[in-house]
Amino acid sequence: MEPLRQGDPCEVGPYRLEGRLGGGGMGRVFLGRSRGGRSVAVKVVRPELADDAGFRRRFALEVEAARRVGGFYTAQVVDAGPDADPPWLVTAYVPGPSLHQAVSAHGPLPPESVAVLGAGLAEGLAAVHACGLVHRDLKPSNVILADDGPRIIDFGISRALDATSHTRSQAVVGTPSFMSPEQARGREIGPASDVFSLACVLAFAATGRSPFGTGPAEAVVYRIVHDEPDLAGLPGHLVGLVRRCLAKDPGARPDLADVLDELADPARATARWLPPPVATMVTERLPAVTVPAHDAGERPSRTSAARPDERTGPFAGPAGPAIPPPRPGGGPFTAPAPAGPQRTTAAAQGGATAIAATALAMLCLPGLLGMMLMGFNLLGLFPPNPDRFEMSPFTIIFLLNLAIAVAEAAGLARGASLLSQRDAAGARLIAVTAGVAALHGMSGIVQFFLTGGEPDSAAASAILGVFVAAPLTAVAGVAATTTALLPSTRRWCLPRH
């Protein structure tokens, strides 16, 4: 979100504006707040459109129809001022990046997330179509990735803009890379057009590009109308469905119920459907919470961004989980876990044990390094001493120890990196590798005495390796393994499906 600029309004209708969210073909979008403290997205129509009486009439009709759209995967239209100067529209604010922002920042989504995205968008579009509307401009920037599923924005409003554009310039409203062939030809469009756009959006989410490429709008439109889509890189289980949805003939495309049947999978149900980097983008967009003062003479104060597991404001208090309305037959999402002190404490404990496991894994590395230096010194490799190096069973044992130590160090570093991203594979890798390193450290001490080593006559490097590095590796390895296997560490990690 950007701060308001000079010339931006401070209020629109009864809503106080707090920052800029972006803009589009219809106007600017602001983050606003209702008088009761609810965050909303406020879209203000461009002045040149506001001067068009025909646009105002169509806008009012489309807004009225859009306000009837329900469902879990659309951003609800809550208010509008079609007669204001300029006209404005208010929808529920959905904290999260657009699909375009997420893919641009972190690359394509994993296949499981794409399937959940497609199921949510199909259900959202079905709710739009049930009210007699067609989206007309479904694209990655009109899809918001929220913590509990995707949301479709700007549904139904493009029709008012489309008719105005035809009147003025014979242009077709829509984003070339995501419009259907019939829309590109300027023909009458229906729900099947949104199915085509949905397939383009899913291909973009999975591959990071449109299936009809980029370039001048005319070239992209030509490929949409005449060429087959490029589905290279699309996960295999999605290729057939996406290809059917991209049929040139609207009648040959599956309907949304078929799309939902193919993508919805209760086994994939999870409250954490986004990869960790994108989930972080959602958290960063959580609005600050306005807390009404108890004293009428005080001004409302601002707190830090609210977390999903916090309840603040005038209705704060003991409450159950924030659960969306029940859905017949289930769906790809489950409700978040109950909020409250127990959940917060468990998350804090899990984070603490994960940090401890990572730190202990890193503590093994100096011990492994010391054991490596001991081996290099005893072999005459560090510092270089050709007279001391000779191939023997003793030399082979030390070379094997060196190779094992290098592999252990690499495994621990990789495990620490994965665990820092809340990947459960990191905890497993630390547990296994640290355990092996602990055994390696203990075996180093045993090997020293079995080969006739004497502490009084041993070289300084051997003393360092056997009595400092090896015990450090053994103790830190056992501690890292134990901590990585704790249930709190596993619960802290994000599930992978």
What radius of gyration, in Å, describes the C-alpha atoms of the chain?
Answer: 30
Determine whether the annotation assigns residue 43 to a binding site.
Answer: yes
Q: Which two tokens stand for residue 343?
A: 């959940």
Q: What is the DSSP letter of 465?
A: I
Query: Rounded to an integer, what distance in angstroms lies between the CA atom of residue 251 and that of residue 192?
Result: 7
3-state secondary structure of 9: coil
CB contact set of 52 (below 8 Å; sequence gap of 6+): 164, 167
Q: Can you list the alpha helix ranges (DSSP code H) found in 332-486?
A: 341-378, 393-420, 424-450, 460-464, 470-484
The 10 Å Cβ neighbour count of residue 247 is 17
Residue 387 known to be catalytic:
no
Encoding tokens for residue 74? Answer: 């659309």
Which is the catalytic residue, given 83, 137, 154, 194?
Answer: 137
Smallest Cα–Cα separation from 40: which of 89, 5, 102? 89
CA-based angle 76:79:84, to the nearest 5? 145
Strands of 133-173, DSSP E: 143-146, 149-152
Cα separation, 422 vs 413, whole angstroms: 15
Closest by CA to 439, choosing from 374, 354, 353, 371, is 371
Distance of alpha carbon 30 from alpha carbon 319, whole angstroms: 31
Query: What whole-number distance in Å separates Cα of residue 473 and Cα of residue 76?
Result: 57
Catalytic machinery residues:
137
Known binding-site residues for ATP equal 43
Known binding-site residues equal 43
